[in-house]
Amino acid sequence: MGVFWLAIDTENNCSSYLELKHRQVVAQGWKKLGDLASFNLFYPNHKDLFKQNIKALGDIGNGNKIWWHRDECPSVMWNLMKLKTGDLVVALEGEKVMGIAEMPSDSLASYRFDSGFEYAHTVGFGVKWVDWNEKNTFKFAPLIKRPFGIKNLKKERDSVIKAWEDYKNKK
C-alpha cells in the first residue's frame, strides 16, 4: 500500500481541501497542461518520456516562458498517475493535515480532466475524504519542508496506515 502527501495550494487560491472533498477526487493543478488522458501510454515504463512531455506542455501552456515548476511538476504528475486502488492520500493545506482518503480506483483508470477547476487533473472519483482528527488518531511530527504536489509519505507512513485501519475498524 502506498501512502502519499497531497499538498493543496491555498495561498494562490488554486484549490482547497473542502473543494476536493466536495468534488470527491484527488487532484492536481496546472490546468494549462491540458488533458493528459493519452499520457497513460507512457505509464509505467516510460517515465523520462512522460516527464519530457509534461515539461514541453508546461512551456507551451505558459507562453514558452521558463516555467517555474519545470522540474517539480513532471514528478508530481507522474506520482498522480501512479496512485493505485487502496493507496492512502493525506491532504495538506500548508503544513496542516486536513484529511485522509483511500483511493477507490487506479489513477490510470479514473483520470479525468476537469477544466472548470484549477486543480483540473483529477483521479479516483468517489473518493471519500475523512477529516483528520488528531484527537482520535495522532499528531504528525512538524514538517521540516512542506511537500510539493503529490509525494510519497515516508516518515509517518506506518502511523498513517495504523490510524486509517483504526478508523475503519471503528466504523
For the stretch 41-61, pLDDT in tens is: 777 788 899 888 888 888 777
Which grid cell is 127?
473518493
First vs last Cα of the chain: how many Å apart?
21
The residue range of the domain holding 130 is: 3-170
Alpha helix ranges (H) inside the chain: 17-23, 47-61, 72-81, 107-110, 157-170
Domain count for the chain: 1
- Averaged pLDDT of the chain: 86
What angle is formed at CA 55 by the lines to CA 47 and CA 89, rounded to 5 degrees? 60
In angstroms, the CA 28 to CA 51 distance is 15
Q: What is the pTM of this model?
A: 0.89
In angstroms, the CA 22 to CA 149 distance is 19
pLDDT for 74-88, tens place per residue? 889 999 999 999 999
Phi, psi for 84 (deg, rounded to 5): -120, 160
Are 104 and 85 spatial neighbours (Cβ–Cβ below 8 Å)? yes
